């Protein structure tokens, strides 16, 4: 018999199936007619329904400026399930969710429509005969985040229920601010209405299975952790590469760029999880305390030597010609926005001092590949070197986040034959081979966790500020210099040559990802 009480074990240890038991919930999605609701949120909710993980009483209210009738909104969601769900439609399950979906038309700065929303929720509760957990999912353009939050406060919807003590929750989508100043302002507005434990800042990378597995690989195996430090690690390389371009999102993307869109959030989270100290426990605060310590230990970036920014020009991807960034729809001719950023980070703490963390992210790169590579120091070149020519490869552990989720160890082996020659070989572990390929989508995990009140996989306010603090001087400089100093790379390549120089300065080379 297990010595751990099943009821009190942390959900992080249990996988999705132990997550049953969220209270009756009403979720309001602000920005409901947008892309995210159809592509990710409602399909995630349907899939939770399939796994019997939704509370017995579950209501979804879409909120948006565009007037839409309830039934039309439900039809839009039918289509969303058909196109975007990971698993195919189960009519019975979907009907159970669908019958409790409605739509509320309103502006984001109109207190009256928040009042009427509150009335609608009260009516649902009255009919049910009990108070419900209220979850507010803010997926609007960032310019109205503040108004939504203030109106949630003034309409009384953010309050803790008197009888059941059920607290309201707010889930905030990215981008969380544009720089340190705006992130601080947003945190201040949020914290004037909600207590920090009610706040769930989304970074969907944290909901990815492989990102969660990173902690398991590190702290559930005894063979890696003793080597995970400056004594044995030569460098760490983190790549988040996409083969897609900006597509129809040019208008948004040009106000953002790779640094804001990918590095400040997703990539920094990967750095933090890779470099952090073992947390004292798996509770959310212990993990987030360790992550924030790492981000704070990163040295200010040297703007002239530690960074590369670039944008794609036309090129070829999988045999097809694709256009350059400046020719994409909605990109102004004087754009100074980067579609690729690379940097060398120095984490100045006991474990990592002197070990460069190279980070890169870009659109329209050779292929979609996100991975963390820990490159270990080479053994002394005494036994298997050829004269001056050192020919033993560095051992590398590669944690592949997507698309071929898994872990690879690169090590040296003897080539069979009478001569003693070595060759790097790979030991692979693939998720799909071991566990099958139908793993939950990040948003399933995150919506469920928010519903049961587990904030481990969400970003705390101080984390986001620490990350912006590091990157804001870079953004300011890049904004001032516009396209001066912007490098170019051909679509379908691995980025500009300047990013190779960033590594060559320390005798390193980017790993060939994917
Ligand atoms: C989003 C960015 O946060 O992440 C997009 O805004 C990017 O530009 C996307 O394409 C990548 O997510 P994923 O899960 O496809 O790697």
Atom of ligand 1 nearest to the CA of 174: 3
Q: Is 371 in the pocket of ligand 1 (CB under 6 A)?
A: no
Tell me the backbone φ, ψ of residue 457, rounded to 5 degrees: -95, 25
pLDDT in tens, 302-317: 999 999 999 999 999 9
Count CB-CB contacts under 10 A for residue 193: 20
Tokens representing residue 340 in the block: 């690729």
Distance CA 159, CA 169 (A): 9
Distance CA 460, CA 261 (A): 18
Tokens representing residue 498 in the block: 């300047």
Q: What is the mean pLDDT of residues 213-226?
A: 95
The predicted structure's pLDDT at residue 390: 61
Task: Find the farthest-apart pair of alpha carbons in the chain and give their distance in angstroms, rounded.
Answer: 84
Atom of ligand 1 nearest to the CA of 442: 14
Residues 314 and 323: beta-carbon distance below 8 Å: yes
* Residue 513: band (very low, low, confident or very high) from pLDDT cuts 50, 70, 90: confident
Residues 6+ apart with CB under 8 A from 307: 301, 341, 342, 343, 344, 474, 502
Please choose from 173, 178, 204, 372 the residue to mutate so as to test ligand 1's pocket, defined by most ligand atoms within 8 A of CB: 204
* Residue 381: band (very low, low, confident or very high) from pLDDT cuts 50, 70, 90: confident
User: Percentage of the chain surpassing pLDDT 90?
Assistant: 86
End-to-end CA distance of the chain: 42
The predicted structure's pLDDT at residue 476: 96
The Å distance, Cα 283 to ligand 1 centre, comes to 27
The Å distance, Cα 52 to ligand 1 centre, comes to 28
Q: What is the mean pLDDT of residues 60-75?
A: 98
- Measured CA distances, 466 to 270, 374, 445, 474 (Å): 15, 24, 25, 14
Residues 6+ apart with CB under 8 A from 123: none
Residues 404 and 433: beta-carbon distance below 8 Å: no
Q: Which domains does the chain have, with CATH numbers?
A: 6-173 (3.40.50.720), 206-438+459-504 (3.30.360.10)
On the question of pLDDT at 210 being above 50, the answer is yes
Mean pLDDT for all residues in the chain: 93
The Å distance, Cα 347 to ligand 1 centre, comes to 26
| Torsion angle, alpha carbons of 116, 120, 123, 128, to 10 | -160
Distance CA 510, CA 360 (A): 10
Please choose from 240, 253, 261, 328 the residue to mutate so as to test ligand 1's pocket, defined by most ligand atoms within 8 A of CB: 261
Tokens representing residue 338 in the block: 């980067």
The answer to which of 210-224, 431-445, 483-497 has the lowest mean pLDDT is 431-445
Cβ-count burial of 194 within 10 angstroms (0-12 exposed, 13-18 middle, 19+ buried)? buried
Q: What is the mean pLDDT of residues 315-323?
A: 95
Tell me: cis bond preceding 175? Omega within 30 of 0 counts: yes
The owner of tokens 């230990």 is 297
Distance CA 297, CA 327 (A): 40
Distance CA 76, CA 333 (A): 36
Distance CA 138, CA 148 (A): 8
pLDDT in tens, 382-401: 788 766 566 788 999 999 99
* Residue 9: band (very low, low, confident or very high) from pLDDT cuts 50, 70, 90: very low
On the question of pLDDT at 122 being above 80, the answer is yes
Q: What is the mean pLDDT of residues 221-236?
A: 97
Q: What is the DSSP string of 170-213?
A: EEEPSP--SSHHHHHHHHHHHHHHS-GGGEEE--GGGGSHHHHH
Nearest CA to 202 among 136, 275, 104?
136
Tokens representing residue 158 in the block: 């953010």
The predicted structure's pLDDT at residue 367: 95
Tokens representing residue 385 in the block: 């070197």
The Å distance, Cα 242 to ligand 1 centre, comes to 8
Cβ-count burial of 67 within 10 angstroms (0-12 exposed, 13-18 middle, 19+ buried)? exposed
Q: Is 441 in the pocket of ligand 1 (CB under 6 A)?
A: no
The Å distance, Cα 41 to ligand 1 centre, comes to 15
**Radius of gyration over every alpha carbon of the chain, rounded to an integer in angstroms:** 24
The predicted structure's pLDDT at residue 4: 35
Residues 6+ apart with CB under 8 A from 317: 243, 364, 366, 491, 492
The predicted structure's pLDDT at residue 84: 97
- Measured CA distances, 485 to 201, 231, 314, 336 (Å): 33, 36, 19, 10
pLDDT in tens, 145-161: 999 999 999 999 998 77
Q: What is the mean pLDDT of residues 482-510?
A: 96
Q: What is the mean pLDDT of residues 166-182?
A: 94
The predicted structure's pLDDT at residue 8: 40
The answer to which of 62-71, 375-384, 407-416, 501-510 has the lowest mean pLDDT is 375-384
The predicted structure's pLDDT at residue 12: 45
Residues classed as catalytic: 266
Range among 4-8, 11-15, 31-35, 71-75 with highest mean pLDDT value: 71-75
The predicted structure's pLDDT at residue 257: 97
pTM exceeds 0.85 for this model: yes
Q: Whose CA is nearest to atom 14 of ligand 1?
A: 205
Q: What order of strands is seen across the sheet that includes strand 101-105?
A: 101-105, 58-64, 25-30, 133-138, 169-172, 199-201
């Amino acid at each position: 018999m297990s010595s751990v009480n099943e009821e009190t074990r942390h959900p992080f240890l249990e996988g999705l199936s132990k997550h049953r038991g969220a209270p009756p919930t009403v979720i309001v999605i602000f920005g409901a007619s947008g892309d995210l609701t159809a592509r990710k949120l409602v399909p995630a909710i349907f899939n939770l329904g399939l796994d019997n993980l939704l509370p017995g009483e579950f209501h979804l209210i879409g909120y948006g400026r565009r007037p839409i009738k309830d039934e039309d909104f439900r039809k839009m969601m039918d289509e969303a399930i058909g196109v975007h769900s990971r698993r195919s439609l189960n009519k019975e399950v979907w009907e159970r969710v669908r019958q409790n979906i409605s739509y509320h038309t309103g502006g984001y700065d109109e207190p009256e429509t928040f009042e009427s929303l509150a009335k609608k929720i009260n009516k649902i509760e009255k009919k049910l005969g009990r108070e419900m957990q209220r979850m507010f999912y803010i997926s609007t353009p960032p310019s109205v985040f503040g108004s939504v939050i203030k109106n949630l406060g003034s309409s009384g919807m953010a309050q803790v229920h008197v009888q059941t003590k059920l607290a309201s929750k707010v889930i905030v989508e990215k981008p969380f601010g544009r720089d340190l100043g705006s992130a601080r302002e947003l945190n201040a507005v949020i914290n004037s209405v909600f207590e920090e434990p009610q706040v769930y800042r989304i970074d969907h990378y944290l909901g990815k299975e492989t990102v969660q597995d990173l902690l398991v690989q590190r702290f559930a195996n005894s063979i890696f952790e003793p080597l995970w430090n400056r004594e044995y690690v030569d460098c760490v390389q983190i790549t988040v590469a996409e083969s897609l371009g900006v597509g129809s999102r040019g208008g948004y993307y040009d106000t953002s760029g790779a640094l804001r869109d990918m590095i400040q959030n997703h990539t920094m989270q990967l750095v933090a999880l890779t470099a952090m100290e073992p947390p004292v426990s798996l509770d959310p605060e212990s993990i987030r305390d360790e992550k924030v310590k790492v981000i704070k230990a990163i040295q200010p970036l040297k703007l002239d030597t530690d960074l590369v920014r670039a944008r794609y020009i036309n090129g070829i991807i999988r045999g097809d010609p694709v256009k350059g960034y400046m020719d994409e729809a909605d990109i102004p001719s004087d754009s100074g926005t980067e579609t690729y950023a690379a940097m060398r980070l120095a984490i100045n703490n006991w474990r990592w001092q002197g070990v460069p963390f190279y980070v890169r992210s870009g659109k329209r790169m050779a292929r979609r590949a996100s991975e963390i590579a820990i490159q270990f120091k080479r053994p002394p070149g005494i036994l298997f070197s050829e004269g001056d020519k050192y020919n033993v490869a560095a051992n590398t552990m590669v944690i592949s986040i997507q698309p071929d989720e898994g872990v690879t160890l690169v090590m040296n082996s003897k080539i069979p034959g009478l001569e003693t020659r070595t060759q790097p070989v790979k030991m692979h572990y693939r998720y799909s081979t071991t566990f099958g390929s139908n793993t939950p989508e990040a948003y399933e995990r995150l919506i469920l966790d928010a519903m049961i009140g587990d904030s481990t996989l969400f970003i705390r306010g101080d984390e986001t500020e620490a990350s912006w603090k590091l990157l804001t001087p870079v953004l300011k400089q890049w904004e001032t210099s516009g396209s001066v100093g912007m490098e170019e790379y051909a679509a379908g390549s691995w980025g500009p040559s300047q990013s190779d120089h960033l590594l060559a300065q320390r005798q390193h080379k980017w790993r060939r990802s994917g």
